[in-house]
Structure 1
């Protein structure tokens, strides 16, 4: 029979502890909730990218601000797995690349320009295939850029999808591209197997309409919960109100929440949203973009409110004339947002 000293037993315990600890090195120790805000200001002195970090607290602290040289900022996306982000600069017909440092700061990367990008708006990213989709509203197209992280200088889109209406908000999930059609169409189109679609005039696989809406704009979709959320901007020309009071807010905007979205697309029918957030208490004037935190215990809806210069946060269960759960007033013109929540 072998005899083990207390020193040997201690050594074995320490070794086991080290092995166990090392095996968990790649597990996240803290949650992440960063809201990236692309600002539409054209003044080069204005910081065109803002980040709220964290974005899921009881309040929204003042954001960190960065100048990524993307005036008239529109669509923005960020892929945490590869640490690459893209921001559309509508006025320069460019897409600016950025990354995020270990301390949370934004670092500017390269950029690429497409002279044929008439009016860059929403953006969506297929991280597996490294494909960037950019909506261009005035010429009714979606531009498709392959191997987007490696692009720089002057480029030409690999594909151009010609639509039957003006796209604005777009969302990508599981090789499906959802495209919101602007103006009076009140329509959201679904393109299945989008990476196999060729250039040229394209026809959606399915579509839904929201007849109760006036003018749709922002769009987000979460595949894990099959929830689609779109924003209503109402009268887009309504004047912005400097430093608005609760009573003075321009509040003709709204949010439409659609659950079980894919089945409703299959029916190719008009839909009644499961819930609508609208009314004077909402502070929704021109909600131009929307994102959703689908994590358990969160279920938060983020809104870029352009006319009233604010970021608004609601809950998925909200309905009717609800006040935001949290909000932040900003000095810039928030045009598009992206949420990194994990």
Structure 2
């Protein structure tokens, strides 16, 4: 067991929110139906931010009684985050240290503890964003300009392999799209196409084991999205969710949203390469009551039909949650916690 050293103590935060519900007027939208069955006995939301680089963990088992703890890291800013329950390890992509950082014995730490890096890698990246995990492989999307020409669309996907206490860079993929959010669906890597409303997929992604330039296997447009950032896929319900930050220049922080695509596999397969997945096949949540201005990441709990959002803009940054989504619309969040410059969320349930 690792010895823990506290550098300062944080007060345990408790947030209680009221549940609100509203529906859109889109009669073509398919309502989001929460499957019957046993709800998780424990749900934890791991979050990162670009304000201080610390890890905030919310216990969201009961959204009417949410507690949180803050774990202090050496990063000044961080993005993509992941939790591995088999090793009790949280991993985040450090934007200040430019590498992956893993922290063991996470569940044993009290709020306010300064945690040491137990699993580390080289500082290879320039602007790391989302992290997607498949087995021992950790893929990081980097949205820095890959070729030095701001007029061309490109980015990099860094593929690390975890072994023991190290993240070793296996290879780097240069893309011909701008990157932000990524997620695995089986062995296929889905990536949002930043500055657009498009979604791309790289099939059997990890078989690309050399440093190469790679085009997406397929790319489609998600109707209704202005500029997508966050993405998550839930295999148990075949649900894909993408966030829309709207106009990046909007200073009102009220033009964002997210779109839920149920039966995603059949809908994506039925959409031709270069085609558009219509708004009638999705459920959209947006509007002034949602507090969505710059939703940069998303997580989903299918058993309760709850969507969690890292909101980077509204009020300086928030962690938001929505349930009773129904057919979408201008829904007030069930959970609304302040988190300065929130950048990433990952949901763990048991």
* Aligned CA distance change for structure 1 residues 206 and 82 (closer, same or farther; 3 Å): farther
* Equivalent residue for 2:237, pick from 220, 225, 235: 225
Note the C-alpha offset of 1:57.
1.4
* Residues 199 and 221 in structure 2, CA contact (< 8 A), matched pair in contact too: yes
* Equivalent residue for 1:263, pick from 262, 266, 278: 266
- Look up the match of 1:252: 255
Aligned ranges 1:87-102 → 2 under 5 Å: 87-102=92-107
* Equivalent residue for 1:142, pick from 152, 157, 181: 157
Superimposed CA distance per residue, residues 216-263 of structure 1 (whole angstroms, 9 cap, x where no aligned partner): 000000111110000001122434xxxxxxxxx621100011112222
* Residues 170 and 209 in structure 2, CA contact (< 8 A), matched pair in contact too: no
* Residues 276 and 319 in structure 1, CA contact (< 8 A), matched pair in contact too: yes
Note the C-alpha offset of 1:36.
0.7
In the alignment of these two chains, the number of paired residues is 292
Q: What SS does the corresponding residue of 2:346 show, helix, strand or coil?
A: strand
Q: What SS does the corresponding residue of 2:130 show, helix, strand or coil?
A: strand
* Residues 251 and 279 in structure 1, CA contact (< 8 A), matched pair in contact too: yes
Using the size of structure 2 for normalisation, the TM-score is 0.77
Alignment of 1:320 with 2:303, yes or no, is no
* Residues 190 and 265 in structure 1, CA contact (< 8 A), matched pair in contact too: no
Q: What SS does the corresponding residue of 2:116 show, helix, strand or coil?
A: strand
- Look up the match of 2:344: 336
Note the C-alpha offset of 1:187.
1.4
* Equivalent residue for 1:176, pick from 188, 192, 201: 188
- Look up the match of 2:49: 39
Tell me, in whole angstroms, the C-alpha distance in 2 between the residues paired with 1:219 and 1:67. 26
Tell me, in whole angstroms, the C-alpha distance in 1 between the residues paired with 2:213 and 2:300. 31
- Look up the match of 1:132: 138
- Look up the match of 2:228: 216
- Look up the match of 2:218: 206
Note the C-alpha offset of 1:205.
2.6
Q: What SS does the corresponding residue of 2:276 show, helix, strand or coil?
A: coil
* Aligned CA distance change for structure 1 residues 214 and 198 (closer, same or farther; 3 Å): same
Which shows bigger deviation, 104-113 or 117-126? 104-113
Tell me, in whole angstroms, the C-alpha distance in 1 between the residues paired with 2:195 and 2:260. 19
* Aligned CA distance change for structure 1 residues 113 and 238 (closer, same or farther; 3 Å): farther
* Residues 48 and 78 in structure 2, CA contact (< 8 A), matched pair in contact too: yes
* Residues 121 and 166 in structure 2, CA contact (< 8 A), matched pair in contact too: no
* Residues 206 and 265 in structure 1, CA contact (< 8 A), matched pair in contact too: no
Using the size of structure 1 for normalisation, the TM-score is 0.79
Tell me, in whole angstroms, the C-alpha distance in 2 between the residues paired with 1:173 and 1:76. 17
Tell me, in whole angstroms, the C-alpha distance in 2 between the residues paired with 1:311 and 1:197. 35
* Aligned CA distance change for structure 1 residues 333 and 114 (closer, same or farther; 3 Å): same
Tell me, in whole angstroms, the C-alpha distance in 1 between the residues paired with 2:65 and 2:193. 31
Which protein, 1 or 2, shows the higher relative CO under an 8 Å CA cutoff with sep ≥ 6?
A: 2
Tell me, in whole angstroms, the C-alpha distance in 1 between the residues paired with 2:157 and 2:164. 18
* Aligned CA distance change for structure 1 residues 340 and 149 (closer, same or farther; 3 Å): farther
Note the C-alpha offset of 1:264.
2.8
